Chains A and B, each alone.
Chain A
Amino acid sequence: MLDASLFGADFSRRDFMKAITAVTAVMGLPATMIPKVAAAAESDNRPPVIWLHFQECTGCSESLLRSSHPGLGNLLLDVINLEYHETLMVGSGEQAEKALHDAIVAHKGKYILVCEGAVPLAENGIYCQVGGTKAVDSLRVAADGAFAVISMGTCASLGGVQAAAPNPTGAVSVSSLVEDRPLINLPGCPPSPYNLIATILYFLTMGKLPEMDAENRPLFAYGRRIHEHCERRPHFDAGRFAKDFGDEGHALGYCLYELGCKGPATYANCSTLRFNDNVAWPVSIGHPCVGCTERLVFNTSIFDKVDIIDPTSPAWFPPTKVTPSGKPVSAISALGVGAIAGAALGFAAGKGSTLPKE
Chain B
Amino acid sequence: MSDISAEQVRHLANLARIDLSDAEIATMTTELGQIMEAVASVQAVATPDVPATSHPIPLKNVYRPDVVADVIPTDKALASAPEHDGSRFKVSAILGEEQ
Are the chains A and B members of one assembly? no
Give me the interface of B with A, judged by CB distance under 8 Å: none
Residues of A within 8 A of B (CB): none
